[in-house]
Amino acid sequence: MIPAPFEYAAPQTLGEAIRLLSSEGEEAKLLAGGHSLLPMMKLRLANPKILIDLRRISGLSGIRREGDQIVIGALTTHYEIESSALLKEVCPLLPETARAIGDVQVRNRGTIGGSLAHADPAADLPAAILALGGELRLTGSDDQRWVKGEDFFLGLMTTALKPTQIITEIRVPVLAGAVGTAYLKIAQKASGFAIVGVAVWVKVEDKACTDIGVAVTGLGAKPFRAKEVEKKLWGKRVDHTFLDADASHVDRGIDPLDDIHASARFRAHLARVLTDRAIHEAISKATSRKS
Amino acid sequence: MPVSKMVGAKVKRREDPRLVRGLAHYVDDINLPNTLHVSILRSPYAHARITTLETDAALKHPGVVAVVTGPDLRDQVGLVPVASQNPSLRVPKHHVLAVEKVCYVGESVAAVVAEDRYTARDALDLIRVDYELLPAVSDAEKALASGAPVIHSEWPDNVAFRWELKQGNLAHAFKEAHKVVRQRFVHQRLAPIAIEPRGVLARYLPGEKELTVWSSTQIPHLLKTQLSLMLNLPENRVRVIAPEVGGGFGSKLNVYREEALIGYLALKLNRPVKWIEGRRENIQTTIHGRGQIGEAEVAVKKDGTLLGLQYKVIADIGAYHQLLTPGIPPLTGLMLSGCYKIPAIGMEVTGVFTNKIATDAYRGAGRPEATYVVERMMDRVAQELGIDRVEFRKKNFPRPKDFPFKTATGLAYDSGNYQAALDKALKLAGYEKLRGEQNKLRKQGRYLGIGLSTYVEICAMGPSAAMPAGGWEYGNVKVEPTGKVTVLTGVSPHGQGQETSFAQIVADELGVDIDDITVVHGDTSAVPSGIGTFGSRATAVGGTAVYQAAEKVKEKAREIAAHLLEADPEDLTFSDGRFSVKGVPKKGLTIQQIALEAYMARRLPKKMEPGLSATSVFEPSNFTFPFGTHICVVEVEPQTGKVEIKKYVAVDDCGKVINPLLVDGQIQGGIAQGLGQALFEEVIYDENGQLLTSSLMDYPLPRALDLPRLELSRTETPTPVNPLGIKGVGEAGTIGSTPAIVNAVVDALAPFGVTDIDMPLKPEKIWQLCQTKEPTKARGGR
């Protein structure tokens, strides 16, 4: 459990960090909370030549409202998200999801940017970001662009982030009106990562679903947005007569992961069950919010 | 005993302040100047021939002092010992570093010694090893099949030993039976996972010719003997110190390769040498527990009278034996009578070599397997006969007047009142009400399960005749000239709290303040002899030795007091640490005053030796047999397979209680580990012998949030085996809990036609079982 030798740099500015990253390229790894990277280094599964520690750069963490968007700095910890009064008010799905991550120690160090960049197929936050239609700001030496969550996750631990870019911010919309949210997960017993996690937000107006986001983590090689499930609920009456969220096809087109903790078949089953339950829970919250 | 003040009191652990403040010293906290550090190259393959092993590049790496391999050491260091013997035992050569081939993932191949840990680890990557892969076999049943790869070519197959027990007329029992119920049981492999992994520090002083080995061990004295043999050193030049030890659960009741390796390196290099196990190494190379696959058969009369039990088992040994590996399955056999009258019992064990780390003693060590088989079978048989499982148990219990109760397996249970513990647990749990609730909920499509386990176990190991390396224990009590009391014990506490409980015993016996007593353990130079801490023996055997030593001290003090007070010893009364003349309470001497006189030695009785200390070595006449009833209530969600423990009641009887806080702590920790086995713990190797659960990201340990509120209670049936009446409690929780939890889940799933599930009861298994059949609406079973 001892990493291979590496160099360490702690730039004070984003520009400096990006310059370092550009010159070292794939030999470099960015250090934020370090919760995934350091164990991999200790097992010598990751052997970066240089670690660029982002934690001394000011302005990379914090949660603020900009019009109808919430902007979250990439170095914001899971605990800061979990405990943010602003998020609880206008985007409770994120705190609900952050609360499901690991344990207190993990949440106090792990960061949203680190989690998204690592793209563990069983991480919690990607489900919430996808369900919300969130975007990530990727910053390189001569480019800066906002990328949709759906375009960011490409596959197993693979993202649209180039080796010379840094995730600097994440933005999600303010959920206004009678909105209910839910993040449900069945955790892998040892690691706490999701065997399946489902994030849902739903807007209810005049007893009908007028907007919805559903996304699933843990099931496949990458988190995904369950658009078919969403479509079926658009405009649907969701009062007390609502019974079936019709989540039975949530796993359609997905090749479920299969490991010692859960078979592909069980994962797909859990995805259906949790999707149904999360939608019901979100609707129920939206309805009670309205009244 | 005189009026007891401390014994039985809830005295807080005196160990805890140093532990919670980080002031304790584990092996890795001991820093000697000039220490070298070791990193060990381990096999990535389960079975392979080493064709190339080149260490030159590693040796040239700056900061590396030495690199050693199996061939370097084979004539320098003895083999890793196995103490448990049986006539059919095959003992493969167990070298300290692999010679020619490797037989499990993690087997040590070479060691790098360097100025610091980082350098040692970096240099490992410079060792070149080529392996020629050999077919591996990780499944014990497959290892027995003809055509299976043979792991040790000295023998024609993978049989490690066969062991058999047959008592009573089994043929008759099964012929006479109204019903014979059969069930296959799998006791999955578990990793003990002490929070402190193993660690060894060794120092050789060439002038004094003394080797000191600090090791995270449960058995410093036995380790000292074995190390002197392995390293060919005179035993009186070897000192072993078990400093603070962060848990063992049996995994440190052993002699490991690294203990001899690090000792050898310190001797060879004349510098202190340290090795600290990583968690991954810990799961790969520290012994595992359980690993039995068996078929049980029970013969029973129509009225529920048990006639016979047979258990045929394959024991997954691993690639080599560790210290007690072959001794664990027979312990299962001995306990197969459970707390029942079973006139005929048979067990056949086939120990099987597999390409895995050895199994050995893990909390319970053979008894959880026996209890699981017996308690699961009691439920199975009751269900088959359609009789109440509580009444079925009661019917077959020996009565209190039947003790000492002789089992067909050849044991004499010391004392017991099984019915009392069961009745108390039923009452505490509200058993009848729970059955009503279960029926009510089933109608709503909710599945409550009530599980019961009435266990008995074997403790206080034990009579030397039944032990591989002595079953006595050493105790010494000394009142110092200043009146402080020093207690030496040969047991080696590593979380059990005997620095507290032994002080309680002595405080009562000598009437001194508990704060004036220090309990010394775990250093072979400070404590002349000892056996160690395992088999729930420390307090029952070691505590008795301490108690008897204190009695001797008191008797000597009485003689001195009588001499000084010019009274007859019989005319002295002793209370609150003071001898006084009967009827003249003012005329007296405290134990402290007497101690000073004993060392000044000017006014002692003629022929009396100076000093005030005494030794006792206690040899128990029998084991002890704690027992109890655990009741677990679960709710199972068929849709996700989730098991929620709604209620947990444990009534345990460990004989006389010295400290209720320590007893509760042992029961709580034991239940946590028993729950781990029942619900989620499992060491998984794939078919090539690759370890798939090699970190705590994949091997789930029970955590605080997994535990229900535990409702703990006791009955107290003293043992006649020792003067304090103590039975032992270190493993009871683990033994009693696992079957109670599994029985509860099986009970919950009865409407789905489920009669058995293999542990661990992972959600997916439960979900699958609930898929196969629509639930019946029938009333809950009894």
Residues of B in contact with A273 (CB under 8 A): 639-640
Which single residue is written with the structure tokens 């002490």?
A: B194
Q: A219-233, A234-248, B311-325: which has the minimum mean pLDDT?
A: A234-248
- Angle at which helices B431-443 and B418-429 pack, to 10 degrees? 50
Q: Is A67 on the interface with B (CB under 8 A)?
A: no
CA-CA distance, B610 to B613, in Å (whole number)?
9
End-to-end CA separation in angstroms for chain B: 45
A4–B764 C-beta distance less than 8 A = no
Q: Which residues of A touch B119 (CB under 8 A)?
A: none
Task: Give the number of beta-carbon pairs within 8 Å between A and B.
Answer: 43
Is the pLDDT score of A290 beyond 60? Answer: no
* Inter-residue contact B185 to B375 (CB < 8 Å): no
**Smallest Cα–Cα separation from B307: which of B396, B182, B419, B377?**
B396
Q: Is A154 helix (H, G, I), strand (E, B) or coil?
A: strand
CA distance B500 to chain A (A): 33
In chain A, which residues have their Cβ closer than 8 Å to the Cβ of B692?
Answer: 260
Collect all residues of chain A within an 8 Å Cβ-Cβ radius of residue B702: none
- Torsion angles phi and psi, residue B329, rounded to 5: -60, -40
Q: Which of residues 271-330 of B touch A (CB under 8 A)?
A: 278-280
What percent of chain A is modeled with pLDDT above 70?
99
Q: Is B769 exposed, middle or buried (0-12, 13-18, 19+ CB in 10 A)?
A: buried
Residues of chain B with pLDDT > 70, as a percent, come to 99
* φ/ψ (deg, to 5) at A149: -50, -45
Identify the pLDDT of residue B780: 54
Residues B78-97: tens digit of each pLDDT = 999 999 999 999 999 999 99
pLDDT band at residue B4, thresholds of 50, 70 and 90?
Answer: low
pLDDT of residue B411: 97
Is B767 within 8 Å of chain A by CB? yes
Cα-Cα-Cα-Cα torsion B578, B582, B583, B589, nearest 10 degrees, comes to -30
pLDDT band, very low/low/confident/very high, at A288 (cuts 50, 70, 90): confident
Residues of B in contact with A190 (CB under 8 A): 693, 696-701
B278 and A1 within 8 Å at the Cβ level: the answer is yes
Find where tokens 């000073």 sit: B596
Chain B from 625 to 684: CB within 8 A of any A CB: 639-640, 642, 680, 684
Answer whether residue A258 shows pLDDT above 50. yes
Q: Is residue B3 predicted with pLDDT exceeding 60? A: no
**pLDDT tier, B775 (very low <50, low <70, confident <90, very high otherwise):** confident
Q: What is the pTM of this model?
A: 0.97
Q: What is the pLDDT of residue B781?
A: 53
| Whole-number pLDDT of residue B779 | 54
B763 CB near a chain A CB, below 8 Å?
yes
What local confidence, expressed as pLDDT, does residue A291 receive?
Answer: 46
Q: Quick check: bond before B462 cis, omega within 30?
A: yes
Cα–Cα distance, B490 to B526 (Å, whole number): 10
Put simply, the answer to whether A5 touches B125 (Cβ < 8 Å) is: no
Structure confidence at residue A26 (pLDDT): 86
Of the candidates A1, A186, A189, the beta carbon closest to that of B680 is on A189
pLDDT average, residue stretch B54-67? 98
Q: Where are the alpha helices (DSSP H) in A144-220?
A: 149-152
In three-state secondary structure terms, B396 is helix
Could you tell me the pLDDT band of residue B409, with boundaries at 50, 70 and 90? very high
Of all residues in chain B, what percent carry a pLDDT higher than 90? 98
- B121 chain-A contacts, CB cut-off 8 A: 2
Tokens linked to B499: 């620095």
Distance between A242 CA and the closest CA of chain B, angstroms: 20
CA atoms within a 13 Å half-sphere pointing along the CA-CB vector of B355: 30
Cα–Cα distance between B780 and B491 in angstroms, integer? 48
Cα of A156 to nearest chain B Cα, Å:
18
Task: Return the SS3 of B444.
Answer: coil
Pairing of strands A69-73, A63-66: antiparallel
Using CA coordinates, name the residue in chain A closest to B123: A4
Tell me which residue has tokens 């943010």: A84
CA–CA distance from B631 to each of B618, B729, B756 (Å)? 36, 18, 18
Query: Which residues of A are less than 8 Å from B763 in CB distance?
Result: 186, 266
Amino acid B2: pLDDT = 44
Query: Stretch B300-321: mean pLDDT, rounded?
Result: 98
Residue contact B639–A43, C-beta within 8 A: no
- Cβ within 8 Å, pair B118-A263: no
d(CA B47, CA B41): 15
pLDDT of residue B456: 98
Identify which of B252, B175, B183 has the alpha carbon closest to the alpha carbon of residue B219: B252
- Long-range contacts, B393-397 (Cβ 8 Å, 24+): B393/B339, B393/B340, B393/B422, B393/B452, B393/B454, B394/B419, B394/B422, B395/B303, B395/B304, B395/B305, B396/B304, B396/B305, B396/B306, B396/B340, B396/B341, B396/B342, B397/B339, B397/B340, B397/B341, B397/B422, B397/B454
H or E element that contains B738: helix B732-748
B171–A contact, CB cutoff 8 A:
no
* B309-335 average pLDDT score: 97
pLDDT over threshold 80, residue B777:
no
Q: How many CB atoms lie under 10 A from the CB of residue B694?
A: 22
Task: Write out pLDDT tens, residues B479-534.
Answer: 999 999 999 999 999 999 999 999 999 999 999 999 999 999 999 999 999 999 99
DSSP class of residue B543? Answer: I
**Positive or negative torsion for Cα A137, A139, A144, A145:** negative
Bond from prior residue into B404 cis (ω within 30 degrees of 0) = yes
Reduced to 3 states (helix: H, G, I; strand: E, B; else coil), residue B145 is coil
* Alpha-carbon torsion (B100, B102, B107, B109), positive or negative: positive
E strand map for chain A: 7-9, 28-31, 50-53, 63-66, 69-73, 135-139, 144-148, 153-155, 158-159, 166-173, 179-187, 194-205, 208-217, 224-225
Residue A7 neighbours by CB under 8 Å, 6+ apart: A49, A50, A51
pLDDT tens track for A49-63: 999 999 999 999 999
Secondary structure of B687-735 as H, E, C letters? CCCCECCCCCCCCCCCCHHHCCCEEEEECCCCCCCCCCCECCCCCHHHH
B458-469 pLDDT, tens digit per residue, is: 999 989 999 999
Determine the distance in angstroms separating the CA of B122 from the nearest CA of chain A, rounded to an integer.
Answer: 7
Mutate to test the interface with A, among B283, B764, B767, B771 (most CBs of A within 10 A): B764
Q: What is the overall mean pLDDT for chain B?
A: 97
The model's confidence at residue B1, banded by pLDDT at 50, 70 and 90, is very low
Chain A residue with CA closest to B122: the answer is A4
Q: Is B759 helix (H, G, I), strand (E, B) or coil?
A: coil
Whether B698 contacts chain A with CB within 8 A: yes
CB < 8 Å to A269, chain B: 767
| pLDDT above 90 for A142 | no
User: Closest Cα partner for B778 from B444, B442, B437?
Assistant: B442
What is the average per-residue pLDDT within B533-558? 97
Query: pLDDT tens across B112-147, in order?
Result: 999 999 999 999 999 999 999 999 999 999 999 999
